[in-house]
A and B are shown apart, each in its own frame.
Chain A
Amino acid sequence: NAGVTQTPKFQVLKTGQSMTLQCAQDMNHEYMSWYRQDPGMGLRLIHYSVGAGITDQGEVPNGYNVSRSTTEDFPLRLLSAAPSQTSVYFCASSSKGLLNTIYFGEGSWLTVV
């Protein structure tokens, strides 16, 4: 099925560990982005990309790295996990243009202990 695929769905990390949340889309979308969801704060943008090789910071980028080496993939890296990064993470993608549908992945639940 076409769509946005996030892996893993659930992950428990220890403080200081590193990990990568994977996001892949097979719709040839130019735009991809990562959000984190925390209670009472809605979804906040971490990083986004408007095309392969181009990334930029969102509202809450600290502690996260991204890269966009291909159109299909947009991994989110936590270099040294902290308990404050316990959250639900969503990846999204869309085609270039204002009127195109934005597709979301199913989310990744991350707990840092």
Chain B
Amino acid sequence: AQSVTQPDIHITVSEGASLELRCNYSYGATPYLFWYVQSPGQGLQLLLKYFSGDTLVQGIKGFEAEFKRSQSSFNLRKPSVHWSDAAEYFCAAYHGNTGKLIFGQGTTLQVKP
């Protein structure tokens, strides 16, 4: 069965430091992968998505993610974190041609001043 795993439940980084959030997927066919961000009490905002082609994907707010098929990973990165990046981040995989998403458990990012 298709699954998405985010190994880190909670991450704390200092403002200005680099960030990497991990995401691993399990899927037999070509995966279609997403990263979403959710601020407290808010809905989901799409950061970026990968369908095919270039394995390094650029998103909004200075985020990027790299798809590595050999490692079944789609890690999210940002070179310099801002306090406003504190939020919960979700990795998700598109499940076939049905409009369904399979989500990871989420990673909560805390930013220290």
Q: Chain A interface (Cβ within 8 Å of chain B)?
A: 29-33, 35, 40-45, 48, 50, 58, 90, 92-94, 96-99, 101-102, 104-107
Collect the chain B residues with CB atoms within 8 Å of residue A43's CB. Answer: 90, 92, 101, 103
Number of A-B contacts (CB under 8 A): 61
Give the total of B residues in contact with A, Cβ under 8 Å.
23
Candidates A44, A94, A99; contact of B99 at CB < 8 Å: A94
A42, B32: Cβ atoms closer than 8 Å: no
Give the distance to chain A from B24, nearest Cβ to Cβ, in Å.
14
In the bound complex, what is the Cα–Cα distance between A40 and B104 (angstroms)? 9
Q: Is the CB of A93 within 8 A of B105?
A: no
Q: For B43, give the chain A residue with the smallest CB separation.
A: A106
User: Which B residues lie at the A interface, using CB under 8 A?
Assistant: 4, 6, 9, 32, 34, 42-44, 46, 51, 90, 92, 94, 97-106
B13 to chain A, nearest CB (A): 20
Verify A97–B97 contact, CB threshold 8 A: yes
Instruction: Tell whether, in the assembled complex, residue A98 and residue B51 are in contact, meaning their CB atoms are under 8 Å apart.
Output: yes
**Which residues in A have their C-beta under 8 angstroms from that of B9?**
40
| Candidates B44, B92, B99; contact of A48 at CB < 8 Å | B99
